[in-house]
Copies of this chain bind each other. A is one copy, B any other.
C-alpha cells in the first residue's frame, strides 16, 4: 500500500507538505506542487479513507435511512434512493444505506460511532421515532417529509397544501364543479405520513372556496382497487367531469384502464389530474396533466441541508417546494 510517506519521499518533501498540497489549505510553490502531483500520479497514491476520517473532522459518508413499508411502492422508493446517492456524490460524499429493519437503530449505530457525518431520512411520519435519535446524537440530519413540529432539524417536502390548492384552482377554473378524487390507501393515513392530511385539508378548504364538490375514494393496494374506485365514483356522482389522483402508479393505471374500458372519453367527458405524482405521469397509457413530485429536488435539498449542518452553516428548517403544474393534455374545460 502506498502512503503519504511514499509520496513525500518520492517528491522530496515532508508529509505535511503533501497533505497541504492535497487539501490546498496552505500555499505551495508551483515547483513543489508539480513534483508532488507527479509523485502521486507515478505511485497511484490514494489517501487512506480511515486515516483521513480519524485525523480529519469528517468521514465524507452520509447515511440514508430508507424504511420500506409493506405497502411501499418499490419504484418510487428506488428513485428516492438513487436521487440521494446522486446528490451526495455531487459533493464527493458516499452513501451508507440503512434499510431492512435497521433504518432506525442503524442511525444510532453509525452516528454514535462517527461512521457518517450526517443522515438523510426517507419515509418520514408525524412523530417520527428517528427524530429523538438524531437530536440525542446531535447528528446533522434532514428529513424528506415533515415529522410534525420541528424547528431544529431540516425538513424538505413538496408543499402539499399548495399542490392541493393548485389542483382545485386549475380544475375549478376550467369549469369543473363535480370532481372525483382517488387517494392513497388508508394504511398510509394510519401511519401518519402527514402529507396526506396536509393535502386533504387544503383540498377541502379550497374546494369549498371554489364551490367545487369533491367525491372521494381511497384505493388500497390490492388488485382491482383502482378499478373499483372508478366504478364507485361514477356510481356516486355520475355527473363528475374530472378525476383527481393522489395515489400510487398502479392505482392510476388501473383507473385509466377502467375508464377506457367503460368507454369514457378522456378528456372529452372526464378530465384527469395527477397530484404530486411520485411516478412519471407522461408514461402512462393516458399521460396525465398535473403536479409531479419534485423528487430529485427534494433529495438534493435534503442532502444539502445535511451538509450545511455539517459545516455549521445555518440550514433552513422546513423547505416546502412550490408545486409545478405540467400540461399533458388530460385536463381541459368541463364539457
Extra inter-chain contacts (7) besides given A49-B59, A54-B54, A74-B74, CB under 8 Å = A44-B112, A47-B113, A49-B114, A50-B51, A82-B99, A89-B101, A94-B97
Q: Inside 8 A of A68's CB, which chain B residues have their CB?
A: 78, 82
A86 adjacent to B114 (CB under 8 Å):
no
Interface string of A77-103 (1 = CB under 8 A from B): 111011001100100001111111110
Instruction: Determine if B61 and A82 form an interchain contact, defined as CB atoms under 8 angstroms apart.
Output: no
Cβ contacts A21-65/B at 8 Å (1 or 0 each) = 000000000000000000000001011111101100001010010
What is the interface of chain A mostly: helix, strand, loop, or mixed?
A: mixed
Chain B, residue nearest A222 (CB): B283
Residue A285 at the B interface, CB < 8 A? yes
Q: Does A223 sit within 8 A of B, measured CB to CB?
A: yes
A110 interface residue, CB < 8 Å from B?
A: yes
When all copies of this chain in the complex are counted, the total is 2
A1, B77: Cα distance in complex, Å: 35
Q: Is A49 touching B86 in the complex (CB atoms < 8 A)? A: no
CB 8 Å contact bits of A102-137 with B (1 = contact, 0 = none): 100010011011110000000000000000000000
* Among candidates B46, B82, B106, residue contacting A113 with C-beta atoms closer than 8 Å: B46
Cβ of A75 under 8 Å from chain B: yes
- Given known pairs A48-B54, A50-B59, A54-B51, the reply for A99 and B85 (CB within 8 Å) is yes
A94: which of B78, B101, B110, B112 is its contact (CB, 8 Å)?
B110
Can you give 17 contacting A-B residue pairs, CB < 8 Å? A1-B114, A46-B112, A46-B113, A47-B113, A48-B114, A50-B51, A50-B53, A50-B115, A74-B74, A75-B78, A77-B78, A81-B81, A85-B100, A85-B102, A86-B100, A95-B97, A96-B96
A66 CB to nearest chain B CB (Å): 9
Q: Which residue, of A74, A75, A78, A95, has the highest number of chain B Cβ atoms within 10 A?
A: A78
CB proximity of A258 to chain B, nearest CB, Å: 12
Check A74/B79 contact, CB under 8 A, given A46-B113, A54-B54, A114-B49.
yes
Note all chain B residues with C-beta closer than 8 A to A59. Answer: 49-50
Residue of B nearest to A53 (CB): B50
B contact residues around A101 at 8 Å (CB): 86, 89
**How many angstroms between the C-alpha atoms of A95 and B66 in the bound complex?**
13
Residue of chain B at shortest CB distance from A115: B49
Q: 5 closest pairs, A vs B, by CB?
A: A50-B53, A74-B75, A49-B115, A86-B100, A78-B78
Q: Which residue of B lies closest to A59 (CB)?
A: B50
**Bound CA span A293–B83, Å:** 27
A98, A100, A110: residue with the most chain B Cβ atoms closer than 10 Å: A100
Are B74 and A78 interface neighbours, CB within 8 A? yes
- The answer to whether A100 touches B96, judged by C-beta atoms less than 8 angstroms apart, is no
* Chain B residue contacts of A113, Cβ below 8 A: 46-49
Alpha-carbon distance A223/B285, docked complex (angstroms): 7
CB neighbours (8 Å) of A48 from chain B are: 54, 113-114
A94 touches B96 (CB 8 A): yes
Give the residues in chain B near A100, CB-CB below 8 Å.
Answer: 82, 85-86, 89
